[in-house]
Structure 1
Amino acid sequence: MTSAPPLRIASVNTNGVRAAYRKGMGDWLAARDVDILAIQEVRASIDDLEGLLGPDWNILHDGATAKGRAGVALASRKSATIHRVALGAEEFDSAGRWLEADYEVNGTIVTVVSTYVHSGETDTPKQVEKYKFLDAMLERMPELAAHSPHAVVLGDLNVGHRELDIKNWRGNKKHAGFLPEEREYFDRIIGAPADPAYNAGAGLGWIDVGRKWAGEVEGPYTWWSQRGKAFDTDTGWRLDYHLATPALAASVINYAVDRAAAYDQRWSDHSPVVVDYQL
């Protein structure tokens, strides 16, 4: 009996999907055989997305309240059975940052969430908004796991959880993206590194697929500053994640960060994270 092909789910912060396509994103996507693509920082309309991706994709999009900012999307080869965009309390503006969809795959419902967490800025209202969003995530994730044993929250989460996740961690301990308070949210989701059950059922029980696959190594990084020689020297951050429920994480057969071969071949300051799930 031949097994069904794996479900390939990719995630990328495009830093503006129209600019990414001008620089080569379309060539990458055409060659990668992706089934579900999660995009963050779309910064475009659904009409733009449909024009760029073409008729073979079913597209869901949640734009930000402020035009030209943020925006998340899910593009798939088959239509979602249902999708949701609300996160947190009614008065909390999560527009353009959280998009859930259910897909039927080989008789199994897989819930996929494309999310773009605020970048934040230490000791400013931007950081307060980031914590509000992370609080809402912590409340929603157990509900997602109860809704579907096969769920994945993926995207640009804008936090390096561990020292392994950021090259220059010593110089960034007081900067947004590596603050102790931010990293504690990940402790609550997948467990603290010192916990014997870290990334194996600790916290809320979710699994950091990237760390599980790579092991105890630096990186692999997914974002590099556009300034200086950060990309050339691989002085990066691992900010883009697949956080999966245990059942879905157990089905992973491949994980890859599609890092460009050279600086001038990049079409975003983030690299896509591509995972194959064998359901």
Structure 2
Amino acid sequence: MKTYTLYSWNVNGLRAISSKEVLPGVLFPGLPAHENIDILCIQETKADAHSLKPDITRIPDYFFYINPAERKGYSGVAMYSRTEPESIELGGLSPEFDSEGRIITARFPEFVLMNVYFPNGGASDERLAFKLRFYDAFLEKIKTMDAAGERIIFCGDVNTAHKPIDLARPKENELVSGFLPIEREWIDRVIAAGFYDSFRLFSDEGNQYSWWDYKSRARTRNVGWRIDYFFVNTAAKPFITGAGIRNDIMGSDHCPVTLTLEFP
């Protein structure tokens, strides 16, 4: 059997997280040394390869890939993998979106993994419109891949809580980007297209969050939002053996979410 343990984590700055002595890490401080992580997907790196120290980009036994934004210190995604992918694609939606370094697609023999940092729509009406255009373009891309018979996994900071159970204070946030009806409806469309919120395949519990506001010290009170996901399509679903939220791992305003797979 071939097994994979996948982690997805918005680190709110790769250089910042790598300097925090939170826990002894197998990749960098924050990730427990005993974790057998096969693939780590990171969002909001805020860095390019040239600005990172070699001890971050050249970790023994891991291949490293990064897709930075053109704007310095902004956005970006990265991936560590014990297995060398068959191919890597950076971006792939359109120049409008690809300039912000929001997607890495890695093809493995068993599946295609897309690491995505979806836009935040809270800054302005223009950014909300940008987020919704990104959502639409991404959904069309994965629907095309699904129709071609690919086993698809996509993960990352989706920047939207799907249901009232997915945030601590749904009533107070009905008019806030990240819980707007039009944003939540996009996740409905993803599910209608044959994709599954992997965490909800294993848990229907509330009070399970992956992001907490730093300024209000919300994490100590668990006043959070579940906005980080692993989605799988119907072709990949039979191979999923577990999904979780690692809210015990500190170092960012997000915590990692996880997925485990097993292939014959």
TM-score by structure 2 length?
0.90
CA distance in 1, matches of 2:54, 2:197: 31
Per-residue displacement from partner, 1:144-163 (whole Å, max 9, x unpaired)?
22345321110000000111
Query: Compared with structure 1, are the counterparts of its residues 82 and 134 closer, same or farther at alpha carbon in structure 2 (3 Å cutoff)?
Result: same
The aligned residue for residue 232 of structure 2 is 244
Structure 2 letter corresponding to 1:97: R
CA distance in 2, matches of 1:116, 1:36: 16
Q: Secondary structure at the match of 1:210?
A: helix
1:115 Cα deviation from its structure 2 partner: 0.4
Contact 1:122-1:175 at 8 Å conserved across structures: no
CA distance in 1, matches of 2:246, 2:259: 11
- Equivalences for residues 14-29 of structure 1 within 5 A: 14-23=11-20, 24=22, 26-27=28-29, 28=31
The aligned residue for residue 112 of structure 1 is 113
Structure 1: segments with no counterpart, 5+ residues: 191-202
**Residue 47 (structure 2) pairs with residue 44 (structure 1):** yes
Query: Compared with structure 1, are the counterparts of its residues 91 and 45 closer, same or farther at alpha carbon in structure 2 (3 Å cutoff)?
Result: closer
1:13 Cα deviation from its structure 2 partner: 0.2
CA distance in 1, matches of 2:56, 2:104: 20
Per-residue displacement from partner, 1:43-65 (whole Å, max 9, x unpaired)?
12225275215132111111012
Contact 2:207-2:222 at 8 Å conserved across structures: no
Structure 2: segments with no counterpart, 5+ residues: none
Calculate percent identity across the aligned residue pairs: 29
CA RMSD, Structure 1 to Structure 2 (Å): 1.9
- Of 161-170 and 23-32, more deviation after overlay is shown by 23-32
Q: Secondary structure at the match of 2:153?
A: strand
Q: Secondary structure at the match of 1:182?
A: helix
Structure 2 letter corresponding to 1:82: S
The aligned residue for residue 214 of structure 1 is 203
- Equivalences for residues 81-96 of structure 1 within 5 A: 81-96=86-101
**Residue 159 (structure 2) pairs with residue 158 (structure 1):** yes
1:227 is aligned, of 195, 202, 215, to 215
Per-residue displacement from partner, 1:90-141 (whole Å, max 9, x unpaired)?
444453111111012xxx3x11111011111275211111111101111111
CA distance in 2, matches of 1:148, 1:30: 36
Q: Secondary structure at the match of 2:34?
A: helix
Query: Compared with structure 1, are the counterparts of its residues 272 and 76 closer, same or farther at alpha carbon in structure 2 (3 Å cutoff)?
Result: same
Contact 1:87-1:137 at 8 Å conserved across structures: no
Structure 1 letter corresponding to 2:44: E
Contact 1:42-1:70 at 8 Å conserved across structures: yes
- Of 72-81 and 83-92, more deviation after overlay is shown by 83-92
Q: Secondary structure at the match of 2:80?
A: strand
CA distance in 2, matches of 1:248, 1:49: 36
Contact 1:50-1:59 at 8 Å conserved across structures: no
**Residue 84 (structure 2) pairs with residue 79 (structure 1):** yes
The aligned residue for residue 33 of structure 2 is 30
Query: Compared with structure 1, are the counterparts of its residues 267 and 148 closer, same or farther at alpha carbon in structure 2 (3 Å cutoff)?
Result: farther
Structure 1 letter corresponding to 2:255: S
- Equivalences for residues 44-63 of structure 1 within 5 A: 44-47=47-50, 48=52, 50-52=54-56, 54-63=59-68
Q: Secondary structure at the match of 1:125?
A: helix
Contact 1:94-1:133 at 8 Å conserved across structures: no
The aligned residue for residue 195 of structure 1 is none
**Residue 171 (structure 2) pairs with residue 187 (structure 1):** no
